[in-house]
Amino acid sequence: MSDRPPLYYFDNNATTCIAPAVLEIMLPFLEENWGNPSSAYSFGHEVGRHLDRARQQVAALIQVEPREIIFTSCGTESNNTAIASALATRPDRRHIVTTAVEHSATLKFCASLEKQGYQVTLLPVNHEGALDLRELERSLRPDTALVSIMWANNETGMLFPVREIAALCRSKGVLCHTDAVQVAGKIRIEAKELGVDFLSLSGHKLHAPKGVGLLYVKRHTKFQPYLIGGGQERGRRGGTENVASIVAFGRAAELAIEHLETTSGRVRALRDQLEAGILRRISGTSRNGPAEPRLPNTTNIAFRGVEAEGILMLLDQAGICASSGSACTTGSLDPSHVLTAMGCTAARARSSVRFSLGAYNTAAEVEYVLDRLPAIIEKLRANAPLEEPVAN
């Protein structure tokens, strides 16, 4: 038994707990079924059969064919692979289009490509985090290899119109990748129907363990492996498969399909209860980003006159996990690049906290946060008001 005090976990966009049914199914692959799925004997083959099943399960989650799935180590690898493949298979095209609000798994990879001589267009967003699709269209050039666009923003939950963007790309002969890492288990994914060429997911955002992800590559799309080695994943990703985690990912995908409607409805109601409660009970608060279109689990709130760092510290003391959505370096919080791109002042960005709910949150937990938070904000405002006023 753990003697850890109760945890009020509101950071499901960062990672999720492993579902009990998922843990149960993966454990035998760490204990007795530890064979290499590529081995010629039946002890290995047997493991290979479980990999096939997991591939079918994750393919069902995103409505594609199992052979269109490549298992990877994480969402970051999937994003890097899609972008690198688009460039490698179209060497005459050296331009990529993405947005200013992507995850660093895309942004930093693109920045490293720029250093190698590729050109990157970072599309801006408006104050709600939305893209101007005419600007996107204008950014496409004869040498554009790929548009890489996140489906849901990890900080605000804002959804981009990926279907329209994929259609636009298709009409211009440009490949389209979507980072759907934050979407899995929250809204329905029909990748084939969505019309994208590549789609990334990560297991640990959907109650599977860390260290497993997938890349969907639409059939007949030219593909260049990123990890080169053994012939695993039909020659598309070298490296012995992380079998236990892949099997777990498959089961998590199955559970996500089974519970999608009920879970996302329940989570949305809790998120709305939390958001409305904060906005009503605490003065000088406002939401970052639009009410819709948005993930059902995410709310990002600015608290006028207080640093998120202080809020998160006092929340932590109360056992509540939330996040500022920005990287914490040397003890000071950089203002979030997402909120900054949306036109927030640095002070507002630094006073913003993301709460991201999940399947295991309860109404009592939401009430607990709503009970604690007003006093936390009051205390911080009394002690250390920000000098710069924060516009709502």
Q: Rank residues 206 and 366 by Cβ distance to ligand PLP and give the closer one.
A: 206
Using Cβ positions, the residue closest to ligand PLP within the complex turns out to be 75
Q: Rank residues 75 and 305 by Cβ distance to ligand PLP and give the closer one.
A: 75
Q: How far apart are CA 110 and CA 100, in angstroms?
A: 11
# residues contacting ligand PLP (CB under 6 A): 12
From 81-89, 177-185, 253-261, 332-340, give the range in contact with ligand PLP by CB under 6 A. Answer: 177-185
Q: Which residue has the tokens 């039946």?
A: 42
Q: Identify any residues that bridge with 302 across adjacent strands, giving them in sequence order.
A: 286, 352
Q: Which of 17, 110, 169, 328 is catalytic?
A: 328
Which one of 154, 300, 326, 336 is in contact with ligand PLP (CB under 6 A)? 154
Whether 328 is catalytic is yes
- To 10 degrees, the CA torsion angle through 22, 181, 235, 82? 180
H-type helices in 298-350, by residue range? 308-317, 337-341, 346-350
Would you give the distance in Å from CA 81 to the centre of its chain?
16
Q: Rank residues 47 and 295 by Cβ distance to ligand PLP and give the closer one.
A: 295
| Token reading at 21 | 């049914």
In the chain, the N- to C-terminal Cα span, in Å, equals: 45
From 23-31, 160-168, 179-187, 313-321, give the range in contact with ligand PLP by CB under 6 A. Answer: 179-187
- Pairing between strand 175-179 and 144-150? parallel
Report which DSSP code applies to 29: G
From 23-31, 46-54, 174-182, 270-278, give the range in contact with ligand PLP by CB under 6 A. Answer: 174-182
Q: How far apart are CA 121 and CA 75, in angstroms?
A: 22
The DSSP element (H or E) to which 352 belongs, if any, is strand 352-356
Q: How far apart are CA 188 and CA 134, in angstroms?
A: 27
Is position 181 an interface residue for ligand PLP (rule: CB under 6 A)? yes
Q: Rank residues 130 and 318 by Cβ distance to ligand PLP and give the closer one.
A: 130
Determine the residue type at 71: F
Q: Rank residues 308 and 373 by Cβ distance to ligand PLP and give the closer one.
A: 308
What backbone phi and psi angles, to 5 degrees, belong to 320?
Answer: -105, 125
Is position 150 an interface residue for ligand PLP (rule: CB under 6 A)? yes
Is position 157 an interface residue for ligand PLP (rule: CB under 6 A)? no
Is position 267 an interface residue for ligand PLP (rule: CB under 6 A)? no
Q: Rank residues 37 and 209 by Cβ distance to ligand PLP and give the closer one.
A: 209
Is position 75 an interface residue for ligand PLP (rule: CB under 6 A)? yes
Q: Rank residues 93 and 205 by Cβ distance to ligand PLP and give the closer one.
A: 205
Binding mask 301-320 toward ligand PLP (x if CB under 6 A, else -) reads --------------------
Smallest distance, ligand PLP to C-beta of residue 206, A: 11
| Token reading at 277 | 């409660």
Which one of 19, 22, 61, 74 is in contact with ligand PLP (CB under 6 A)? 74
Which one of 8, 37, 58, 179 is in contact with ligand PLP (CB under 6 A)? 179
Smallest distance, ligand PLP to C-beta of residue 71, A: 12
Q: How far apart are CA 150 and CA 162, in angstroms?
A: 8
- Residue 234, classed as helix, strand or coil, is helix
Q: How far apart are CA 295 and CA 79, in angstroms?
A: 20
Smallest distance, ligand PLP to C-beta of residue 182, A: 5
Smallest distance, ligand PLP to C-beta of residue 128, A: 18
Which one of 16, 33, 57, 76 is in contact with ligand PLP (CB under 6 A)? 76
DSSP string, 156-185: T-BBP-HHHHHHHHHHHT-EEEEE-TTTTT
Q: Rank residues 79 and 263 by Cβ distance to ligand PLP and give the closer one.
A: 79
| Token reading at 64 | 């594609």
Binding mask 97-136 toward ligand PLP (x if CB under 6 A, else -) reads ------x-x-------------------------------
Is position 294 an interface residue for ligand PLP (rule: CB under 6 A)? no
Neighbours of 279 (CB within 10 A): 14
Would you give the distance in Å from CA 284 to the centre of its chain?
29
Residues that bind ligand PLP (CB under 6 A): 74-76, 103, 105, 150, 154, 179, 181-182, 202, 213
Catalytic residues: 328
